[in-house]
Copies of this chain bind each other. A is one copy, B any other.
Amino acid sequence: MFDNSIRFAMAQIDTFVGDIQGNSDKVVRYCAEAAHHGADVVVFPEMSLTGYPIDDLTFRDSFRRAASDAGRRLASRLQDVGLGGLTVIVGTLGLGSAAAQKGKIWYATDHNRLCAIRGGEIVATYDKHFLPTYGVFDELRLFAPGDGVTVLDVKGRRVGVAICEDIWRDGGTVAKLANENLDMLVSINGSPYNAGKMDTRYNLVRKRAMECGAPMMYLNQVGAQDDLVFDGGSFVMSPDGTLLEQSPQYREDLSYWTLPATESASLDLKQIDDSRSDCAELGCLDEQMYDTCVLGLRDYARKNGLDKAVLGLSGGIDSALTATIAVDALGADNVWGISMPSRFSSDGSKTDAEQLASNLGCHYATEPIDDLFDAFQKRLSLEGVAKENLQARIRGVILMGYANRGNMLALDTTNKSEFAVGYFTLYGDACGGYAPLSDIYKTQVYRLAKWRNDEAVRRGETAPIPQNSIDKPASAELREGQQDSDSLPPYDELDAVLSAYIEDGDGRADMLSDGFSQGTVDTVMRMVDRAEWKRRQAPQGPKVSSRALKHDRRIPVSQHFQE
């Protein structure tokens, strides 16, 4: 009998928004590799030819046309290089029936489209049905919804397709596909990481595979795009929830999985390594969060043409963890740590910064700021917070001098707790193009630092972060004897309130009934609300949580709601 098994290649690639040519080249390379390994079908992520998400590039006429042509051109190219026998599933922007209105108002008329290519042609298309418009997503701004279903015929088998959000909601495409007697369901995705997302995906895919009574492939992109980090982690799951194949997170990958021939009794169940039983499927949560920050920074730098970074090293835990992330992302020789001590800096701070740089093997320089501070103060005679800000801003000027001179990316070391309550100086420590810790609470900063040090020890390397940076009380060191706890609640309490207010969307009454003190709740809510204007001007950083500030949580600057 004819062997109607289908060998799928899972092309978990990183794409570059707007670089249609480069993305297409990569697709061709992966197809060649997959064909060499006997694949029948090669699956690429959502909008793989355009990159994802493209935001308002959607409305640029030249871009729309290039994106829409890209599928057809890819089909020809694949045919030309002898890969026409493959079935290739890619995503791109598809022109809608109406032309986008040029000029004053842009309405969404185009589609987030999947193209199935074979034999030099686009043999089928599918337009995304559910368009996510919440959190970091704005797809109803950008696309018009599709309403059909598409089932591909591959070797006489029925392969249904869906795009990302289509599988996150009941009804729509999946409900229709459930009646299509599928042999296989394939979903192409652009799903950014947040903590716990892998479990959510597993549960979701299990449900959809069961509904369709067929194995399901979840194919995700990998790589960072601005504040979003796509973690990959593609997989295939059987209708009973068994993991049949699993791609790694945080790197490009080409894995294979074969849908058995019809007469084959059962699916080839893959044994998943669960030797690290205290962790989630693909590594501990701490590891995932850390890797998210590393990949976020690496891709932000690379996609913006930068390979070097500079940051201020205060001897504190935030700059220590940021520097470690930077070295892991860019290499020690591409990272410059600048210690900028003042009369308020403790001796420990200077030696801790130097020790960190030495552990990491990165560049290190010292730029004391007292003389510059005195020169400004002779003029301005600032007091209180204004005087503290002045020190941070002098450091910002020095840091940006290094960045501009060396064509380096300046890194903001602000963490999410500080970012949330406005405990940072705009144009001071918030200088920079990227803030790796902007979605990591202070208590998580400690946890990640500990995880990274432990990991180094596990690998037989030196723990990078000096124990003293972890142990000593947090301080901005902008006045004599200052500690963060002078201005803020203890971090464990602060972070608990912030997480309730930001991630859980709790109101004042919710938090009080959860046992937080009224004083803390009122102080924290007011600080968060008043810092909106400062956050708007802070650099972006990788989304790690279920609700990052700014892009994910859009609050007016001018507002006066009080509970």
Listed in ascending order, the chain A residues whose CB lies under 8 Å from chain B are 16-20, 22, 51, 53-57, 59-63, 66, 102-108, 133-135, 138, 140-141, 225-226, 299-300, 303-304, 367, 371-372, 375-376, 379-380, 382-383, 385-386, 389-390, 393-394, 396-398, 400-402, 404-405, 426-427, 431, 433, 503-510, 533, 536-540, 546-547, 553-563
Query: Which residues of the partner chain B approach A55 to less than 8 Å between Cβ atoms?
Result: 554-556
Q: Are B386 and A559 in contact (CB under 8 A)?
A: no
Shortest CB–CB separation between residue A189 and chain B, in angstroms? 16
User: Which of B134, B303, B379, B557 contacts A558 (CB under 8 A)?
Assistant: B303
- What's the Cα separation between A463 and B336 when bound, in Å? 52
Q: How far is the CA of A402 from the CA of B380 in the complex (A)?
A: 8
Taking CB atoms, residues of chain B closer than 8 Å to A539 are 533, 536-537
In whole angstroms, how far apart are the Cα atoms of A563 and B57 in the complex?
A: 12
CB distance from A27 to the nearest CB of B (A): 16
Q: Measured between C-beta atoms, what is the minimum distance from A387 to chain B in Å? A: 9
CB contact between A19 and one of B59, B140, B561 (< 8 Å): that residue = B561
Question: Closest chain B residue to A406 by CB distance?
Answer: B386
In the bound complex, do residue A505 and residue B404 qualify as a contact, i.e. CB atoms below 8 Å apart?
no
User: Closest 8 interchain pairs by CB?
Assistant: A18-B561, A62-B507, A386-B404, A303-B558, A18-B559, A19-B560, A427-B427, A17-B559
- Bound together, the chains give a CA A133 to CA B62 distance in angstroms of 22
Q: Are B135 and A105 in contact (CB under 8 A)?
A: yes
CA distance A493 to B389 in the complex (A): 41
In whole angstroms, how far apart are the Cα atoms of A225 and B103 in the complex? 25
B558 touches A299 (CB 8 A): yes
List, sorted by A's number, 8 A–B pairs whose CB atoms are closer than 8 Å: A51-B559, A55-B554, A60-B505, A60-B561, A104-B546, A138-B138, A303-B560, A386-B404
Beyond the given A63-B561, A66-B563, A103-B504, please list 7 additional residue pairs across the A-B interface where CB-CB is below 8 A.
A16-B560, A60-B561, A61-B505, A108-B133, A133-B140, A303-B558, A376-B397
Q: How far is the CA of A519 from the CA of B338 in the complex (A)?
A: 40
Q: Are A138 and B141 in contact (CB under 8 A)?
A: yes
A371 to B, closest residue via Cβ: B375
A383 to B404, CA, bound (A): 10
Contact of A226 among B60, B375, B557 (CB under 8 A): B557
A102 close to B57 (CB less than 8 A): no
Contacts of A106 in B (CB 8 A): 134-135, 505
Query: Given the complex of chains A and B, what is the CA–CA distance between A396 and B539 in angstroms?
Result: 18
Tell me if B561 and A540 are in contact (CB < 8 A): no
A221 to chain B, nearest CB (A): 14
Alpha-carbon distance A510/B556, docked complex (angstroms): 37
Contact residues in B for A102 (Cβ distance below 8 Å): 504-505
Kindly list chain B residues whose C-beta atoms are within 8 Å of the C-beta of A372: 372, 375-376, 379
Whether B561 pairs with A57 at a CB distance below 8 angstroms is: yes
User: Closest residue of chain B to A377, judged by CB?
Assistant: B401
Q: Which residues of B contact A393 (CB under 8 A)?
A: 396-397, 400, 427
Q: Are A558 and B225 in contact (CB under 8 A)?
A: yes
Q: Which of A225, A510, A558, A562 has the most CB of B within 10 A?
A: A558
Name the residue on B nearest A409 (C-beta).
B533
Determine the chain B residues whose CB is within 8 A of the CB of A506 once the complex forms.
61
In the complex where A134-B105, A427-B400, A554-B56 touch, is A538 in contact with B537 (Cβ < 8 A)? yes
The 8 Å CB contact of A401, one of B66, B386, B402, is: B386
Tell me which of B507, B540, B559 contacts A61 (CB under 8 A): B507
Check if A379 sits within 8 Å of B404, measured CB to CB: no
Contact B133 A133 (CB under 8 A): yes
- Given A376-B372, A427-B400, verify A559-B133 contact (CB < 8 Å): no
Are A380's CB and B396's CB within 8 A?
no
- Nearest CB in chain B to that of A501: its residue: B60
Contact, CB under 8 Å: A53 / B386? no
Decide if A558 touches B226 in the complex (CB within 8 Å): yes
Q: Write the nearest CB–CB distance from A9 to chain B, whole angstroms.
A: 26
Cross-interface CB contact of A509 among B62, B105, B138, cutoff 8 Å: B62
Closest B residue to A194 using CB positions: B104
Contact B382 A54 (CB under 8 A): no
Q: Roughly how many angstroms separate A59 CA and B18 CA in the complex, as a whole number?
A: 33
Decide yes or no: A405 and B380 within 8 Å by CB, A56-B553, A61-B505, A504-B102 being known contacts.
yes
A140: B residues at CB distance < 8 A: 133, 140-141
Picked from B54, B394, B433, the residue with its CB within 8 Å of the CB of A533 is B433
Q: How far is the CB of A8 from chain B (nearest CB, A)?
A: 29
Complex Cα gap A505–B563 (Å): 43
Known: A380-B398, A504-B102, A560-B18. A138 touches B57 (CB 8 A): no
Q: Check if A379 sits within 8 Å of B367, measured CB to CB.
A: yes
The complex places the Cα of A379 from the Cα of B404 at a distance, in Å, of 15
Q: How far is the CB of A534 from chain B (nearest CB, A)?
A: 9
Instruction: Knowing A106-B505, A507-B62, A539-B537 are in contact, say whether A57-B401 is a contact too (CB < 8 A).
Output: no
Q: Is the beta-carbon distance between B561 and A304 smaller than 8 angstroms?
A: no
- In the complex, the answer to whether A405 meets B382 with C-beta atoms within 8 Å is yes
Give Cα distance in the complex from A53 to B558, angstroms. 10
